[in-house]
Amino acid sequence: MEGSGGELMPATPYQQTALAADANYLKRQTPLLLAEAGVVAAEATTVPGHVTRAALANRIINSPQQMSASLAPAICSMTNLAGSTVTYDFTLGATVTDATDAAIRSQIATGWNVLAGV
């Protein structure tokens, strides 16, 4: 979204919601979520909140598409995605973000405790 001076604006709540519901975005988010779930599942049991963190990881590993869709509204509301530019690509027929995979994965990692309820 562009402001009056042509500068790019952060995603609006409406755009974040559209992104979270977009099948193409979910295809991108799901493997990033699975990758982080693997890291959490393998972490030391001494990590604070590990049992709760690992429970979320196991739910994601066992049902990746369903859990990705369920968590997408929260993830798309977090800093890295809320601060991204979200547009609609008419060629793809999809809502897209300029957030990189690294930024999305980082957001998943830093938001894991919130997503897990720790």
CB 53 within 8 A of CB 36: no
**Residue position matching structure tokens 């992104």:** 19
Instruction: Return left, alpha or beta for 37; rule: phi > 0 is left, psi -120 to 50 is alpha, else beta.
Output: alpha
* pLDDT tens for each residue of the chain, 118 residues long: 444 454 567 889 999 999 999 999 999 999 999 999 999 999 999 999 999 999 999 999 999 999 999 999 999 999 999 999 999 999 999 999 999 999 999 999 999 999 999 9
